[in-house]
Amino acid sequence: MSEYLDDLDTGPCVGLVEKQAFTFGSADEPMTLESGRSLGPVALAFETCGSLNAARDNAVLVCHALTGDSHVAGRYQEDDPKPGWWDIMVGPGKPIDTDKYFVICSNVIGGCMGSTGPMSPDPTNGPTDGPTDGPTKGAPYGTRFPVVTIGDMVRCQRRLIDHLGIDRLLAVVGGSVGGMQVLEWSVRYPERVCAALPLATTTKHSAQAIAFNEVARQAIMADPAWNGGDYYATGRPEHGLAVARMIGHITYLSDESMRHKFDRRLQDRCELSFDFEADFQVENYLRYQGNKFVSRFDANSFLYLTKAADYFNLENQHGDGSLVASFARARCRYLVVSFTSDWLYPTYQSKAMVKAMKKNGLDVSFCEIEAPWGHDAFLLPNPRLDALIAGFLDRVRGQCSAGECEERGTHAL
């Protein structure tokens, strides 16, 4: 998820929001992860907007992308320079209308925005004082944090939804890695989801997507300051993380968007410098994005979250190698959206999932939206996307109110 959306006019806002925390499990009663390792206690940072109705059937879970957080909309303080990352989509009168829906967004485990991750204190570390070859008790996990999966993230979200007293979500929506979580929700908990909106996403990473993530990880691990992940007391691998972000950021854009925004224009000069400074605007932009990212994100979290995305494989996890079989458990309605210039998760991948859904007789709407801005198009203003999401949610809300969702949602695990 990109961070070049600083100057958007997002329209009416939900107002002030508050980051909350939900904790479950303990060191004695941990959560068992898909890797077989254990984690506990587990904390999730989350935020909500709108109001849960009396029937508790108007909840919409928004899942964030790779480096996002729970701050989906609104502001923490009146003078905040910008609102949440999807404020163009979530709010009063917007496609995900907080006058109609109770919107929930949580930071994933493995992240660094309030949920349990590599920079969280490890309760199982060694003695609190005296000589020790390892970290002291309460020191950050670092790379001792267990590898987590998209499935693990969704299982934690389900615990949060239980905590909020919600039996069935009206919809789960998200783009990119958030879209992977949407797909996981729809097949892992079919009785808990009325509608799913996976945007600009895939059921599994291509070799090219894995390759970009690996180069980004190697940039972090090659930074001497990384120190095997134990850098919290000695100084962060800022250069490596900045380069990793630059690599990722390129995949979020498109050739057309970069040509339109930068072309070969020079940065604050009229002639080439004939040195290794940033001659071109695109070089300066990527350096700016990398340095900006370093100030807010944890390098170890970046390693863990990219690995979780690479491991995601819906057909292997839920279909024994068959994409059609993986959707056999699903009972929800789907709205699948792709974008013409998204070369990270191109449209052919969305069409493959739509085909598998239809082979299971599911109610599926699909749209490929013409957009020149690459993978990040789902984060940018787009009237067609707005209309699709607003109309789809209104239709689902009407059908669920009429009891159709209850009928379709009855499925034994």
Domain spans, the chain:
1-109+148-204+312-413, 206-311
Which residue has 């009407």 as its token pair? Answer: 398
Q: Which of 9-18, 167-176, 263-272, 317-326 has the lowest mean pLDDT?
A: 9-18
Checking if the pLDDT of 94 tops 50, the result is yes
Checking if the pLDDT of 131 tops 90, the result is no
- Tell me which of 87, 97, 342, 350 is the catalytic residue: 342
Give the per-residue pLDDT at 403: 67
The band of 128, judged by pLDDT with boundaries at 50, 70 and 90, is very low
Give the per-residue pLDDT at 5: 52
Alpha-carbon distance of 206 to 268, in angstroms, equals 38
Ranked by mean pLDDT, the top range of 2-6, 57-61, 274-278, 397-401 is 57-61
Q: Which of 386, 290, 334 is nearest to 94 (CA)?
A: 386
Give the per-residue pLDDT at 400: 79
- Tell me which of 120, 176, 186, 341 is the catalytic residue: 176
What is the residue-averaged pLDDT of the chain?
93
Q: Which residues are annotated as a binding site?
A: 245, 376
Rounded (10°) CA dihedral 67, 70, 74, 75: -80
CATH number of 206-311: 1.10.1740.110
Q: Which of 53-62, 358-367, 394-403 has the lowest mean pLDDT?
A: 394-403
- Tell me which of 71, 205, 318, 375 is the catalytic residue: 375
70 is catalytic: no
Q: Which residues contact 44 (CB under 8 A, 6 or more apart)?
A: 21, 22, 23, 106, 107, 109, 114, 115, 116, 156, 157, 159, 160
Checking if the pLDDT of 301 tops 60, the result is yes
Which residue has 């080439």 as its token pair? Answer: 272
Backbone CA torsion sign across 166, 350, 352, 389: positive
Mean pLDDT, range 269-298, rounded to an integer = 95
Q: Kindly report, residue by residue over 146-163, the tens digit of the pLDDT.
A: 999 999 999 999 999 999
Report residue 66 as tokens: 């790779």
Checking if the pLDDT of 409 tops 70, the result is no
The band of 348, judged by pLDDT with boundaries at 50, 70 and 90, is very high
Please write down the HEC assignment for all residues of the chain: CCCCCCCCCCCCCCCECCCEEEEECCCCCCEECCCCCEECCEEEEEEEECCCCCCCCCEEEEECCCCCCCCCCCECCCCCCCCCCCCCCEECCCCEECCCCEEEEECCCCCCCCCCCCCCECCCCCCCCCCCCCCCCCCECHHHCCCCCHHHHHHHHHHHHHHCCCCCECEEEEECHHHHHHHHHHHHCHHHECEEEEECCCCECCHHHHHHHHHHHHHHHCCHHHHHHCCCCCCCCHHHHHHHHHHHHHHHCCHHHHHHHCCCCECCCCCCCCCCCCCEHHHHHHHHHHHHHHCCCCHHHHHHHHHHHHHCEHHHHHHCCCHHHHCCCCCCEEEEEEECCCCCCCHHHHHHHHHHHHHCCCCEEEEEECCCCHHHHHHCCCHHHHHHHHHHHHHHHHHHHCCHHHHHCCCCC
163 is catalytic: no
Mean pLDDT, range 376-404, rounded to an integer = 92
The band of 136, judged by pLDDT with boundaries at 50, 70 and 90, is low
Checking if the pLDDT of 351 tops 50, the result is yes
In terms of DSSP bridges, do strands 90-91 and 96-97 run parallel, antiparallel, or are they unpaired?
A: parallel
The band of 286, judged by pLDDT with boundaries at 50, 70 and 90, is very high
Mean pLDDT, range 104-132, rounded to an integer = 83
Q: Which residue has the higher pLDDT, 286 or 12?
A: 286
- Give strand pairing partners of 31: 39
| pTM, to two decimals | 0.93
Alpha-carbon distance of 237 to 303, in angstroms, equals 12
Checking if the pLDDT of 412 tops 50, the result is no
Checking if the pLDDT of 317 tops 60, the result is yes
Q: Which of 92, 3, 98 is nearest to 47 (CA)?
A: 98
Q: Which residues are annotated as a binding site for substrate?
A: 245, 376
Give the per-residue pLDDT at 8: 65
The band of 237, judged by pLDDT with boundaries at 50, 70 and 90, is very high
Give the per-residue pLDDT at 142: 97
Alpha-carbon distance of 403 to 237, in angstroms, equals 54
The pLDDT > 70 percentage for the chain reads 92
Hey, how many other C-beta atoms are within 10 angstroms of the C-beta on 68? 26
Checking if the pLDDT of 406 tops 60, the result is no
176 is catalytic: yes
Q: CATH classification of 1-109+148-204+312-413, choosing from 3.30.450.20, 3.40.390.10, 3.40.50.1820, 3.40.50.300?
A: 3.40.50.1820
